[in-house]
Chains A and B, each alone.
Chain A
Amino acid sequence: MSKASDLPALTIADLQSLLRKKEISPREVIESLRARIEKVEPKIDAYLSIDFDAALKEAEKIDVDLPLGGVPIAVKDIINVKGQPCTCGSKILGNYRSPYDATVVQRLRAAGAIPLGKTNMDEFAMGSSTENSSFKVAHNPWDLSRVPGGSSGGSAAAVAADAAFGALGTDTGGSIRQPAALSGVVGLKPSYGRVSRFGLTAFASSLDQVGPLTKTVRDAAMIMNAMAGHDRHDSTSLPDPVPDYTTNLGRDLKGVRLGIPKEFRVEGLDPQVKSAVNAAIKQLESLGGQIVDVNLPNTDYGITVYYFLATAEASANLARFDGVRYGYRAKDAKSLLDHYGRTRGEGFGQEVKRRIILGTYVLSSGYYDAYYVRAQKVRELIRRDFVKAFEKCDVIVSPTSPEPAFKLGERTADPLAMYLADIFTNTGNLAGICGISVPCGFAKMNGSQLPIGLQILGKALDEARIFQIAHAYEQSTDWHKAKPKI
């Protein structure tokens, strides 16, 4: 290692090996990252808060021989880190400070990681661009006039700009994979129940998962090794044992069956995304993969099912923001109803309000069966589609997002167009399976180079398999080595 200023460009795996050899100290790591953040943060607005002093204090006593010993990890601002703000990107939690650590944070700490910084996001994780943040709009490091994706856009932008070694995000309909694709990093949505949500502010409880955003597949596997597994504080977490996710890395793809769903050939798929993904599939084939055609006939209903179920669950989950125990409270309420109505009306941003209205409507008397229950039934059909498809293949390969990063402001007036950004990702949440996005090329647009992501979906609890395939692909290409000029 030549200079301290080169440190932030390292992967977690490489950083760790330098730390273990004592060539660098955890303090130097934090200081070098701080310099990098101070340089790029004014351009990308990836963070909502950073406490360097707390991180430096932890760096003093860290054991570098632990699996993630001395590695700073950024955390999406919807996951509680004790003593730090947790705004969820919302004015309604503008002054909130976490009185406890989320289980994932506790586990990362136990593995030697240092939580550093809370990342920008769409308010309560509702959005695909990070433009719904109540505080500031994050920018894509590859083209500052474009979105980094969302809702974990701050996490993706920070990792892409070397302003974080790795970050946690959350994925309810694509909120880890889509920003990973648009910002040119790796993002994993674990299977439903694989990672504890205790200490994660709930958006849609039957869909939410916490997962890593990193520079490489190996780094994502290392973070998952530290945080996956059963938690008695989360009744939806699965008791199944957690394998070592790095074991499969480096194994070849001989005989691996790659399912290509014909339903994913949609209108509106950007031609450059299409050709990059087709080239990636050829590459996987040349590595030993075997292409299989599969059907997911109910894919077309995914967006509707997702927006009915996610908003219904959100309308119930966000009822807790009533200005009583925490968060913003409207001044001088004349009655209890005035207190609730104004606290929430003044505290929430527009997209959150829009979704609470839709969710309340689909749960309301007279519409519950027609909308909510019907959506739950179609969800079951979507889940069965995947079960059937996985009888013929080991993983399903598709684009992560139908298009590369769009311009800031381009979609904000049209919520339906924004919702369609999730078209390839949200059926994975509905079915409870796992999925990863890995960089697979660039689109050229008005002089900018914009990253494209390849999505690999795996069976529930088959994370080791999608890590293996994503790693084999990544290592056979140079996409992950490209850096934005920022």
Chain B
Amino acid sequence: MAKSTDLDVGYVSKLARLNLSDEETKLFQKQLADVLKYAEKLGEVDVSHVEAAAHAVPMFNVFREDKPCDWFTADDALSNAPHKANQLFIVTKVVE
């Protein structure tokens, strides 16, 4: 089991693409260390003979027919866009 002191909130926030203020970073560092400390007891459980369960109900490979049907128009899809033009989403420049 990893140690609850390993968490580096500043580093994880970069992985999550989530800017935090210095106060938030400090606060979360403390609060999540408490949560991880509480969670240490998970290390007690013997899980050597258990398969990981992704879902409570075993269901695999759910397919449906690949058939076109009426759905959103371009206008519907763009209706909540923060920035749009010519029926396209306008995004922040990606390539310099």
- Residues in A lying within 8 Å of B, measured CB to CB: 95-97, 99-100, 192-193, 206, 232, 235-236, 238, 298, 300-301, 303-305, 307-308, 315, 319, 322-329, 333, 335-342, 344-346, 348, 350, 353-354, 356-358, 360-361, 364, 366-367, 370-371, 373-381, 383, 414-416, 419, 430-433, 460
Instruction: State whether A364 and B42 are in contact (beta carbons under 8 Å apart), knowing that A206-B54, A383-B56 are contacts in the complex.
Output: no
Q: Report the bound CA distance from A353 to B47 in whole Å.
A: 30
A residues in contact with B89, CB < 8 Å: 324-325
Instruction: State whether A301 and B41 are in contact (beta carbons under 8 Å apart), knowing that A357-B18, A358-B35 are contacts in the complex.
Output: yes
Q: Report the bound CA distance from A368 to B64 in whole Å.
A: 32
B residues in contact with A345, CB < 8 Å: 18-21
Q: B31, B41, B64: which has the most chain A beta carbons within 10 Å?
A: B31
Q: Report the bound CA distance from A236 to B35 in whole Å.
A: 30
Task: Annotate B74-96 by CB proximity to A: 1 below 8 A, 0 otherwise.
Answer: 00110111110000010111100
Contact B35 A301, beta carbon cutoff 8 Å? no
Q: Which one, A303, A327, A383, contacts B82 given CB within 8 A?
A: A327
Contact B55 A236, beta carbon cutoff 8 Å? yes
B residues in contact with A348, CB < 8 Å: 18
Contact B52 A377, beta carbon cutoff 8 Å? yes
Q: With contacts defined as CB atoms under 8 Å apart, how many contacts are there between chain A and chain B in the complex?
A: 174
Q: Which one, A99, A304, A371, contacts B72 given CB within 8 A?
A: A99
Q: A100, A300, A315, A360: which has the most chain B beta carbons within 10 Å?
A: A360
Chain A nearest CB, measured from B24 CB (Å)? 7
Q: Report the bound CA distance from A348 to B52 in whole Å.
A: 31
Contact A99 B76, beta carbon cutoff 8 Å? yes
Of all chain A residues, the one with the shortest Cβ separation from B75 is A99
Chain A nearest CB, measured from B55 CB (Å)? 5
Q: Which one, A193, A301, A329, A373, contacts B83 given CB within 8 A?
A: A329
Of all chain B residues, the one with the shortest Cβ separation from A340 is B17
Q: Report the bound CA distance from A99 to B75 in whole Å.
A: 10
- Residues in B lying within 8 Å of A, measured CB to CB: 1-2, 6-7, 9, 12-21, 24, 28, 31-32, 34-35, 38-39, 41-43, 45, 47, 50-57, 59, 62, 64, 72, 76-77, 79-83, 89, 91-94
Instruction: State whether A327 and B80 are in contact (beta carbons under 8 Å apart), knowing that A192-B56, A192-B57, A336-B93 are contacts in the complex.
Output: yes
B residues in contact with A375, CB < 8 Å: 42
B residues in contact with A236, CB < 8 Å: 55, 57, 59, 62
Instruction: State whether A99 and B80 are in contact (beta carbons under 8 Å apart), knowing that A236-B59, A360-B12, A378-B42 are contacts in the complex.
Output: yes
Contact A339 B92, beta carbon cutoff 8 Å? yes
Contact A367 B83, beta carbon cutoff 8 Å? no
- Some 17 contacts from A to B, beta carbons below 8 A apart, are A192-B56, A236-B59, A238-B57, A319-B17, A324-B89, A325-B89, A327-B80, A342-B19, A344-B16, A345-B20, A345-B21, A353-B24, A364-B15, A374-B47, A376-B54, A379-B53, A383-B56
Contact B42 A304, beta carbon cutoff 8 Å? yes
Q: Which one, B28, B62, B80, contacts A357 given CB within 8 A?
A: B28
Contact B45 A298, beta carbon cutoff 8 Å? yes
Q: Which one, B41, B57, B72, B77, contacts A193 given CB within 8 A?
A: B57
Of all chain B residues, the one with the shortest Cβ separation from A315 is B16
Contact B82 A329, beta carbon cutoff 8 Å? yes
Q: Report the bound CA distance from A336 to B91 in whole Å.
A: 9
Of all chain A residues, the one with the shortest Cβ separation from B19 is A345
A residues in contact with B59, CB < 8 Å: 193, 235-236, 238
Q: Which one, A100, A235, A344, A416, contacts B38 given CB within 8 A?
A: A416
B residues in contact with A342, CB < 8 Å: 19
Instruction: State whether A357 and B32 are in contact (beta carbons under 8 Å apart), knowing that A235-B62, A375-B42, A378-B47 are contacts in the complex.
Output: yes
B residues in contact with A95, CB < 8 Å: 80
Contact B54 A232, beta carbon cutoff 8 Å? no
Of all chain B residues, the one with the shortest Cβ separation from A234 is B62
Chain A nearest CB, measured from B36 CB (Å)? 8
Q: A367, A414, A433: which has the most chain B beta carbons within 10 Å?
A: A367
Contact A304 B80, beta carbon cutoff 8 Å? no
Q: Report the bound CA distance from A108 to B31 in whole Å.
A: 42
Q: Report the bound CA distance from A250 to B64 in whole Å.
A: 40
Instruction: State whether A326 and B56 are in contact (beta carbons under 8 Å apart), knowing that A353-B24, A353-B28, A358-B35 are contacts in the complex.
Output: no
Instruction: State whether A356 and B56 are in contact (beta carbons under 8 Å apart), knowing that A308-B39, A327-B80, A378-B47 are contacts in the complex.
Output: no
B residues in contact with A344, CB < 8 Å: 16-19
Instruction: State whether A336 and B94 are in contact (beta carbons under 8 Å apart), knowing that A206-B55, A361-B12 are contacts in the complex.
Output: yes
Q: Report the bound CA distance from A356 to B17 in whole Å.
A: 10
B residues in contact with A96, CB < 8 Å: 80
B residues in contact with A338, CB < 8 Å: 92
Q: Report the bound CA distance from A249 to B73 in whole Å.
A: 45
Contact B12 A357, beta carbon cutoff 8 Å? yes
Q: Report the bound CA distance from A206 to B58 in whole Å.
A: 11
Contact B28 A305, beta carbon cutoff 8 Å? no
